[in-house]
Structure 1
């Protein structure tokens, strides 16, 4: 087989393969079998139609085109193996020419990009907020606890935001009652906008005994009444406000496991400190990656970005489907059009690829590897979170070809840990900060699970037509 390979860019190659007439004739037999599965020819079962009959039915050009599709993937795979080239995305046909000897095909192959120079990361100073817990933070937590145990009491003042109105509400269209929008003795939190449109604004300033009547057009998403004008009538039976409990040692002992206010505040401070530290560590890691990506000198092939974007969009649409959310509804709810959605998806795809290229380069530079013990530990954790037996989960990963993907995810997480370790967090004034603290194992499991689901398309996919 005659094969030539030419550079088409830093990470792109054009592989030209020859399909001789003999190979093409052999491929026509398989092509005829494929085409016959969709043919209905009297006297023959689907898939059993003779080649000559298939050719007479679909035409010689169609059979030849199908034969090329049959022969090409194997020839391209053979050529790439001989040249030790591993595609990072599905190879695509760029050109096809007839020759006296058969057919000559140009196939573009995209390689996984590598960095000539890894941006400086050791000792890099990155600014983040200091993970400090202020007294105001603790006061806010205590106020939330007080709010949970607050009692409602009747008040005489007009309704203001944050009050609770006890109401009877009726709704009708042209005098016909709508039972689904009717409520009796409903204690409604004013300002929450959690029931029918316009209700909160109408209740503001009302008092016990007030009767409010108004018309409102319902949003399109509100079932059979969406887009229709509805008449609402509201009777305000009472106005109530929250009475917060006084913070005393007795109250603390009653509503928590602590006996004193000081003990409760100490525990809240400890928990908030852990939470803030974890949050700042994540922010630090994100900023380190962002700065290093910005410093990268690399042009990612458009074909690779397209493949990653298509994969991410496909996964996203699948998840929307699982939630029974039409794509058009999603665009309407988020206030964007399809063009903006695709542009955002492309930017995210390029960002995702850039991060992976960076982490691969740093991992190679640092000599970071994944041990068998680390792989087994990650699979056991993922199996436990999926409530599956470890052996069955591992077998499923191997059969689906995701062991390599999981290994890569673990490796990249280790690289991120290394970057966080050697970069230097500083505050807004340039003073170094300490972000020491162990990452939660659950965080690692979640990361690995997310990456396994969100991995890029398989690198050794079959050849597809570029038309």
Structure 2
């Protein structure tokens, strides 16, 4: 087999491949064998039909088509390897010449990885914000912990912001109840928002036994965005009573004996969490500084595919949260054009970053051992909320392990770059970034600040705020 490559652009190449006919013989034999099992010819057993008889029955052209379709993928991959090309998308293949018993010629146009000249990456500098834990930060965490142990008490007055109400809800369209848009006995915190436009305004000033109807739009289900009339009835108005923050509470809610010890632990955990956030910001700032040193052309098809994938993922997440894209843009204060421009910028930066980190990993000869792969699989399983073994099985069955290995190599490359960079905070202090994980991640600050304490397993926890409503509530 002979092949030649023509550079169409810095990111696109055209392969021209000539294949001697004898190299197609294994695929031809396979095609004859396959078709022999599929046809019935009088005088011959199934699977034993001679090639010349098959040619008369189904035609030589059908055999050649099947053989070529079988051989092309391997021939294409061999041509890529021979010409040291790294594809970034699916090729456009065209058979340009086929002479039976003589030769096959085909072309393949494909987006390829551009040539990259690595810039210096051992002298990068970046700056991030200072780490500061304020008394207000501590108070907010303590308040959240007290709310988890709060009790709800019925009150005989109109609902106010911050109260809890037990309500019945029903949405109607043209006088007919919308299927799945009816709730009974749901506890809701007035002023919380995020469930149904107009609900908080309707509840303000309502007392037990009051009923009110207002206009809104469904935020979930098949009728998302549909205008409906929502009737809300208040069954109870409840006030949240918080426990005193004293030594007794500290012993109930944590492993500490005094409120002072608990407060100090809250402050320490917040500090660790903010330092992790600062480290993550430093990592991103260093990567951004590296990206400013390069100008790498990108295949537009790759950018478009990634844009479509991310856009679809965002839309799915919004639908899951019961939000429309218009509502999301309104909350973010963005126009559709601004959103698209920002998304495209982030996609291009992400693709360039992957290409750069791949080059660094290759230059630094970074590998991945079994323990690193296992740890990465465990983290990814946790992030996706899947059983670790089920996740591992899925990755192996669908041949995603090479992608995960590449993720780890990129992470290690980024970690090495960040460790060699000089990052300072706003006060001029140098930040130590030599404790990144092997995959380049920093960690989840939420792990350090989640309620600021470990709860006792046998502690009584009265319901302070109900879980987010599901099913019908999500539809509303």
Do they superpose with TM above 0.5?
yes
For structure 1, which runs of at least 5 residues remain unmatched after alignment? 448-467
Counterpart-to-counterpart distance in 1, 2:55 and 2:294: 55
Quote the offset at 1:115 in angstroms: 2.1
* 1:54 paired to 2:58: yes
* Match of residue 416, structure 2, among 415, 418, 425: 418
> In structure 2, the residue corresponding to 1:96 is in which secondary structure?
strand
Take 2:301 and 2:156, find their aligned partners in 1: how far apart are those partners? 68
* Cα deviation, residue 283, structure 1: 1.4
Length-normalised TM-score, structure 2? 0.68
Q: Find the residue that maps to 2:144 and give its secondary structure.
A: helix
Q: Which residue of the partner structure matches residue 213 of structure 2?
A: 214
Structure 2, unpaired ranges of 5+: 382-386, 445-476
Name the stretch that deviates more: 409-418 or 3-12. 3-12
Matches within 5 A, 1:309-388: 350-365=348-363, 367-370=364-367, 374-379=369-374, 382=377, 387-388=388-389
TM-score by length of 1: 0.69
Matched, 1:115 2:111: no
Distance in 1, matches of 2:169 and 2:313, equals 40
Contact 1:5–1:16 (8 Å) recurs in 2:
yes
1:265 aligns with 2:263: yes
Are residues 45 and 216 of structure 1, via their aligned partners in 2, closer, same or farther at CA, if it must alter by over 3 Å?
farther
- 1:127, 1:445 → 2: CA distance? 17
Find the aligned partners of 1:309 and 1:173 in 2 and give their Cα distance.
Answer: 37
Rounded Cα–Cα distance in structure 2 between residues aligned with 1:228 and 1:34: 59
1:125 aligned to 2:125? yes
CA distance 1:380–1:95, shift in 2 (3 Å): same
SS in 2 for 1:268: helix
Kept in 1: contact 2:218–2:228 (CA 8 A): no
2:258 is the alignment partner of 1:255: no
Q: 1:170 to 1:103 in 2, by over 3 A?
A: closer
Supply the RMSD in Å over aligned alpha carbons. 5.2
Q: Map Cα deviations across residues 234-262 of structure 1 (whole Å, 9 max, x no partner).
A: 2x455333233333334333433222232
Q: Does the aligned pair in 2 maintain the 1:216–1:230 contact within 8 Å? A: yes
C-alpha displacement of 1:65: 4.8
Aligned equivalents of 1:25, 1:213: Cα separation in 2: 80
Paired residue for 1:452? none
Offset from partner CA, 1:407-454 (integer Å, 9 cap, x none) = 43332222222222121222346x13324574568996999xxxxxxx
Q: What CA distance in whole angstroms lies between the structure 1 residues aligned with 2:366 and 2:175?
A: 73
Does structure 2 retain, via aligned residues, the 8 Å contact 1:171–1:182? no
Q: 2:288 aligns with which of 287, 290, 299?
A: 290
Give the structure 2 partner of residue 69 of structure 1. 69
1:433: which partner in 2?
430
